[in-house]
Amino acid sequence: MAKTTKRATAKNNKKQKTIEETLWDSANKLRGTVESSEYKHVVLSLIFLKFASDKFERRREELINDGKEKYIEMKEFYNMNNVFFLAKESRWSYIIEQSKQDDIALKIDTALYNVEKNNPSLKGALPDNYFSRLNMDVSKLAALLDTINNIDTLKDQQQDIVGRVYEYFLSKFAIAEGKGKGEFYTPKSIVNLIAELIEPYKGKIYDPACGSGGMFVQSMKFIDSHNGNKKDVSIYGQEYTATTYKLAKMNLAIRGISANLGDVPADTFAKDQHPDLKADYIMANPPFNQKAWRASDELLDDPRWRGYEVPQTGNANYGWILNMVSKLSDNGVAGFILANGALSGGGTEYDIRKKLIENKLVEAILILPRNLFYTTDISVTLWIINNNKKERQVKLNDVEKNYRNREDEILFMDIRQVGIPFEKKYIQFSQEEINRASETYHEWQQVGTDYKDIPEYCYSASIEEIQKKDYSLVPSKYIEFVNRDENINFDEKMASLQSEFAELLKEEVRSKTELLNVFKNLGYEIKL
């Protein structure tokens, strides 16, 4: 009896799988011969179709219950409630009815095409003839449809079930694709850190390399969690890759977030779709160390470089920085991720970095741990650029912020040693770690706080100190490190090492003797 109870308790204590995990396990088993990079579009577009259909059916039922049955096939009565209108062949019920048919892939393509045709806000969002081209096994596609059919998108509006599933799938696909791919997704804990640092409560938010739209989603979550008003922000972004552009539009549509991502997917440098934008907040994770981003004779007179050297052709890091600087409003703040090389690069990078510092734009540099990203294991840096580091009082979300003048200072932080294990080979920030970093930054910004420099963690450097270090922004040049050697008892340490080495040398002699004896006994004596 006792054993039975123990087993039952153990079973109960075993971690219950979330709906996201369960669905992922089911969907992933059905992948078959389809690559992760392609399969994600299959799964995510079906999740979107299920979500859109559920919302449509609920609105349709409302109209019937209100005695407005004659309007149930009129787009306007759905659009007025931010619901996408779906023709019969685009509804999930129809797709499920047809799921065992040989032409189900074509029917899904038709469904997605008609959803986009009937809803102009979704222009360019949905895959085009994707299912037909993939030639997925019909039985596997049918099984996938059954899996997604289990998502009750309307069950708990507060919990944002479909948003959670979509986000979870994005992260899992990014992990599955690994290095060199998966660049459409920035891990959530990094985005949360940026949001907590720059506090995007009110105004225009911009991401020049928006991927699947994670920066915007987390911004909205930040506003929600701090009791802000999502209507107070407007969103602008741009994405180069066509398939990723579609992911972003779907990701935002699922959450009812309206955004201007440009008319088409396009290169931010070659075809800037927001040339006149002045953003209050910029959040970005542009491609690291992007090579050949412009030809030697291209973009030489681009207004985004005005007042600075033209960024070098071999690395786009400073092109991204200047693009963002050019789009900041008078009080705008930018938080973005770059490879560590940008902290100390020479040539034109040096000239631009020197000018940025002299122009009092660089506010904080945080060096982050390795293995945060699914696409690379390098250590990266979070930059904060602020267009107004002057003394001022601001009311943010009903909280008074009393900023001190920080024009001649830059805050350096080293958070390489934080983070918790995630998916075996990655790490992510806990909410406590994010809170500590953001509190340190905000305390440093304001008057009357307890901010102080902490060895191996943070240091407020003067512009004069930075000039003496030849405008390097490498945190380790400023943050104090503790000399732990001072606490070592030298005699004790050496005595311990002496004993260890004596044993090692004795063992070596024994092994040598044994080996020589073996050869002697075989008649092949070795003479040294």
pLDDT tens for residues 161-216?
Answer: 677 787 878 788 877 776 555 566 788 889 999 999 999 989 999 999 998 898 99
Helix (H) or strand (E) holding 249: helix 242-254
| Mean pLDDT, rounded, for 423-452 | 92
Q: Looking at residue 13, what is its pLDDT?
A: 42
Contact 181, 375 (CB under 8 A): yes
Q: pLDDT tier at 273 (50, 70, 90 boundaries)?
A: very high
For the cut 90, the answer to whether the pLDDT of residue 157 exceeds it is: no
Nearest-angstrom CA–CA distance, 195 and 216: 10
pLDDT digits over 435-448, tens only? 999 999 999 999 99
pLDDT, residue 6, reads: 44
Determine the Cα–Cα distance for residues 225 and 219; give it in Å rounded to an integer: 10
Please state, in angstroms and rounded to a whole number, the distance separating the CA atoms of residues 171 and 182.
Answer: 9
Per residue in 78-93, pLDDT tens? Answer: 988 889 999 999 999 9
- Cα gap 266→263, rounded to integer Å: 9
How high is the pLDDT of residue 68?
A: 92
Q: Indicate if the pLDDT at residue 14 is higher than 50.
A: no
Per-residue model confidence (pLDDT) at position 9 = 43
Torsion of CA 53, 59, 62, 66, to 10 degrees: -130
Domain 178-477 in CATH: superfamily?
Vaccinia Virus protein VP39 (3.40.50.150)
Structure tokens at 221: 């979550």
Write out the E strands in 359-425.
362-367, 380-386, 392-396, 399-403, 409-414, 420-422
Which SS3 state, helix, strand or coil, does residue 93 take? helix
What is this structure's pTM?
Answer: 0.82
Residue 298 scores a pLDDT above 90: yes
Structure tokens given for 142: 């049918």
Give every CB contact of residue 91 below 8 A, 6+ residues apart in sequence: 53, 56, 57, 111
Local confidence band at 3 (pLDDT 50, 70, 90 cut-offs): very low
pLDDT of residue 328: 98
State the average pLDDT for the chain: 87
Name the band, by pLDDT with cuts 50, 70 and 90, for residue 281.
Answer: very high
Residue 397: pLDDT over 80: no
- pLDDT (0 to 100) of residue 216: 92
Per CATH, which fold does 17-157 belong to? Ferritin (1.20.1260)
| Residue type at 73 in one-letter notation | E
Q: Which of 390, 378, 306, 396 is nearest to 342 (CA)?
A: 378
Q: Which of 19-33, 120-134, 262-276 has the highest mean pLDDT?
A: 262-276
